[in-house]
Structure 1
Amino acid sequence: MAIDLPYRPRRLRTTAAMRRLVAETRVHPGDLVLPMFVKEGLAEPAPIASMPGVVQHTLASVRKAAREAVAAGVGGLMLFAVPEHRDAIGSAGTDRDGILQRTLRAVADEVGDETVIMSDLCLDEFTDHGHCGVLKDDGTVDNDATLERYGDMAIAQAEAGAHLLGPSGMMDGQVGYVRRVLDDAGYQDTGMIAYSAKYASAFYGPFRDAVESQLAGDRKTYQQDYANAVEALREVRLDVEEGADLVMVKPGLPYLDIITRVAAEVDVPVAAYQISGEYSMVEAAAANGWIDRERAILETLTSLRRAGASVILTYWAVDAIRLLG
């Protein structure tokens, strides 16, 4: 018996073709950025145990992986590096022959302007204490001394071929300071994807394995408190005023509300970083047969896009493009 119903929304869900036709949100390959790790001194790529399917690359293997990712259609590559030697001020991060700068040159030589080459502008991978900046005698991070180090890093990365620098240390004034340094050095065309709302999250654990972080303690004095939202909007506005070309929310899934509020607040592109813990949770659950891995990948990426992110950094970038195809 048919009941007289004035509206039947299910009509638009009857087939896969119908659902595809009326989909409100779409993830495009060009929206996706692949983060990649390179470790100095490796003879061959090394699997990261807490991030199944992700490796620490050699300089040779990162070139091949970059070429494959570009061929797949990714929108960009975000590069991180693990040095052989660390010190208190992260000297390897500003060394023109440091591993990150060599990686940037290698990838730029391989793919050039075929994709957007991004670099992490932070000291944490290069310091022997694992913090994102220079420390004072009392062990706290010296904001202004750190900015000077970021300026040096910015020049080194711009020289090496990065299109977008990613200031991620959550130091006050980092975007404005780096912008002035770049402009004064003639790098007006080098942009910034600012980690504007970066939270002190429990979900970074696998990433710290990937970069072999030396951190003891936490970063709660400079990364944001996960209880706060208005603070994120203030940080974002400041970064845009200081010259950020894109702004980022990190992590992604626990902060969908922040992504939406940021996207409504600013008129620059908004990125979201689907971080290591988000990736590893899905991979672990899928390995145990608890969830469908491929469906979970597409669902999580779509949720970030639906929330307002126009750029998504994800370790599944190449896998997702295959699934989208």
Structure 2
Amino acid sequence: MVSCFPLQRHRRKRATPWIRDLFAEHFINPSQFIAPIFVSEVPHDGGLDLDIFPGLRRYMIEDLPALCEQLQSFGIKAIMLFPVISEDKKDEIGTEALNPESLIYKAVRKIKEQNYQLSIMSDVALDPYTSHGHDGVIGALHTKVQDVDNTETVKILSSMALLLAEAGADFVCPSDMMDGRILDIRNDLETHGYTQTLIASYAVKYASSFYQPFRNALGSKGLKALNDKKTYQMDYRNSTEALSECMFDEAEGADCLIIKPGLMNLDIVSKVKEKTSLPIISYHVSGEYVMQKLSAYHGYLDDKQSTFEIMHSFIRAGCSNVITYSAIDICKYLKNE
């Protein structure tokens, strides 16, 4: 039997800060947050307009040790690396992605040799390397319609993942949404002895308008050949399909599942949490981040309080971790509490 007012008064448990803390169901701490890092070989931001991405910095390889020292001192346990390469190294098939001396592999080696207590997570996708900005090789399929070729793209992604493992990455993170790529990557890693390399699969990645600031920062603003990524990224109208994607990736050997965008898809996080024992990571994507930061900048929101509220919503929904551009800000706020 459920007691009702006045025998039960919910406000009794909200009366003071210490009582609220006593009964709080969820807390946040620095180890839950993964810091995305843009590693660039283009000095001075390559002339790109980054004003719409407040707080963003690009880092040259020589800047990484100092940054990692700072992140480690804050208690952050993982970083996610994204390469920003010069335009003259991009081509139709992303050739530079398989160059062992390419930027991302040198960055991983540079960080790894410092023996930081940080997990190195690295993006596995072709869009930083292709001149058309898509996540794979474009070809004419049996339908005679141009699209991203799943088979050829997966071959390249598997080779990229192996190169990252050889460089010292702790996690490889396929963000392309090709079918079967997790199984192919896992088999390649196992065959070459990288049995301890984790796969953080972007199992649910919707074709979203909230990625635009990220694409600007990555230097892949304009898409060519295909106008959008809807033939391989998911339709945001679907949720059952998201569960299927997660179950497939788990069966193929993923160690954790990434859901992106994060804030817009907390319902998906909750549904997936009920179906899997794997850790779930949400990506608080650039568009979501920018909305909150610009609102705070213009005085419409309190930055600390709104950031904390958003992060608690991720954890409450079922996330183990959150990839967020606010990682350093969160740690500073927590340290000063």
TM (normalized to structure 2)? 0.92
Paired residue total? 321
Name the amino acid aligned to 1:50: I
Which residues of 2 match residues 16-165 of structure 1 at below 5 A? Answer: 16-42=17-43, 48-84=50-86, 85-112=89-116, 114-137=117-140, 138-165=145-172
| Larger deviation, residues 129-138 vs 242-251 | 129-138
Q: Where in structure 1 are there 5+ consecutive unaligned residues? A: none
* CA drift at 1:28: 1.9
2:293 maps to: 283
Which residues of 2 match residues 197-208 of structure 1 at below 5 A? Answer: 197-208=204-215
Change (3 A) 1:64 1:240: same
- Is the 8 Å Cα contact of residues 83 and 92 (structure 1) preserved in structure 2? no
Q: Where in structure 2 are there 5+ consecutive unaligned residues? A: none
* CA drift at 1:110: 2.9
* In 2, Cα distance between equivalents of 1:44 and 1:283: 21
- Is the 8 Å Cα contact of residues 204 and 260 (structure 2) preserved in structure 1? yes
Name the amino acid aligned to 1:76: A
Aligned residue for 1:136, secondary structure, equals: strand
Deviations 1:106-157 (A, max 9, x none): 1212344x01110001111111111000110443100000000001101111
* CA drift at 1:183: 1.0
* CA drift at 1:211: 0.3
Aligned residue for 2:148, secondary structure, equals: coil
Change (3 A) 1:66 1:258: same
- Is the 8 Å Cα contact of residues 42 and 84 (structure 2) preserved in structure 1? no
TM (normalized to structure 1)? 0.95
| Larger deviation, residues 315-324 vs 240-249 | 315-324
Which one of 194, 201, 217 corresponds to residue 194 of structure 1?
Answer: 201
> Segments of 4+ in structure 1 off by > 4 A?
43-47
* In 2, Cα distance between equivalents of 1:49 and 1:98: 28
Name the amino acid aligned to 1:33: I
* CA drift at 1:43: 6.1
* In 1, Cα distance between equivalents of 2:115 and 2:186: 25
Aligned residue for 2:323, secondary structure, equals: strand
* CA drift at 1:49: 2.0
Name the amino acid aligned to 1:100: I
CA RMSD of aligned residues (A): 1.6
Deviations 1:3-30 (A, max 9, x none): x821111111112222111111111211
- Is the 8 Å Cα contact of residues 45 and 56 (structure 1) preserved in structure 2? no
Name the amino acid aligned to 2:54: P
- Is the 8 Å Cα contact of residues 44 and 58 (structure 1) preserved in structure 2? no
* CA drift at 1:185: 1.3
- Is the 8 Å Cα contact of residues 66 and 111 (structure 1) preserved in structure 2? no
Which residues of 2 match residues 241-280 of structure 1 at below 5 A? Answer: 241-280=251-290
